[in-house]
Amino acid sequence: MYYIDIHNHMLNGVDDGSRNPETTAKMLQLAYNDGIRGIICTPHYLPGVYTTGKAERVIRVKHLEAIAKKFFPGLALYEGCEYFASSGHFTEDLEKGRAGTLADSKYVLAEFSPATPEDVIEHRLMEIIGTGCWPILAHAERYMAFENEAFRLRVSGFAYIQINAESMLGEAGTGIKRLARKMLSEGIVTFVATDAHGAHHRKPVLSECALYLEEHFGTEYMETLLYYNPKSILDNIKL
């Protein structure tokens, strides 16, 4: 079985992820060696800061895929974005081709700043649902609001929860690790992704977390989080 990474910053020159083609090449190599065969490229869309729109993202991903195919047989790349929902106006940003969905599905990867209040997170996710899209909350383990068990259980009832591989392994701090693992045991996590930003730090690898998931939650849950659920995005099937 291989992995599909639904959240990363491998496209170079569009956000705080890969800075140049060399880094992107190294990241693709790392991902490929690790067993990743599907990558949804999700550069930040952050109003006023990272503003690469959908049309440009599509061109860049197609260009990168054409090159990647020569070196990494069987590796597929897809266009997406990580939409900063704390301050944006999703409906308008979607209409204007600034925001976007993952791999032409109805799934939307939405992130917030860590201290965003509960009501803002809820309201913004509802706005996304109002457009007919299916929101995925990016790296949910980072939000202070998610320390509140009742809140995170409520949100998991209407939005999908994504956590970062490095968080569950402790690379983002003890508190974040604890919350990521707690959410896994609560069964509210739908996706685990790399959120990779580079080739040396925050790398595009999933095999280590696959081992952890397999050991603590079993093979089936590991495969669901790293392959089957991500595959449902590519197939645009609602989970």
Count residues contacting Fe ion (CB under 5 A)?
Answer: 2
Give me the half-sphere count of Cα atoms (radius 13 Å) on the Cβ side of residue 25.
Answer: 6
Q: What are phi and psi of 97, to 5 degrees?
A: 75, 25
Q: How far is the CB of 113 from Fe ion (least distance, A)?
A: 13
DSSP string, 128-165: HHHTT-EEEETTGGG-GGGGSHHHHHHHTTTSEEEEEH
Give me the half-sphere count of Cα atoms (radius 13 Å) on the Cβ side of residue 142.
Answer: 18
- Taking the C-alpha atoms of 105, 111, 117 and 120 in order, what is their torsion angle to the nearest 10 degrees? -40
Between 67 and 86, how does the x/- string for binding to Fe ion read (CB under 5 A)? ---------------x----
CA distance 234 to 107: 9
Q: And the tokens for 105?
A: 């599905």
In the list 195, 203, 210, 224, the residue contacting Fe ion (rule: CB under 5 A) is: 195
Interface positions, 205-234, toward Fe ion (CB under 5 A): none
Q: Which is nearer to Fe ion, 15 or 127 (CB)?
A: 15
Q: Which is nearer to Fe ion, 5 or 82 (CB)?
A: 82
Which of these ranges, 64-72, 100-108, 167-175, 194-202, lies near Fe ion under the rule CB under 5 A? 194-202
Q: Which is nearer to Fe ion, 43 or 213 (CB)?
A: 43
Which of these ranges, 23-31, 71-79, 89-97, 195-203, lies near Fe ion under the rule CB under 5 A? 195-203
Under the criterion CB under 5 A, does residue 141 sit at the interface with Fe ion?
no
CA distance 233 to 89: 23
Q: Which is nearer to Fe ion, 136 or 184 (CB)?
A: 136
Q: Which is nearer to Fe ion, 48 or 74 (CB)?
A: 48
Binding-site ranges for Fe ion (CB under 5 A): 82, 195
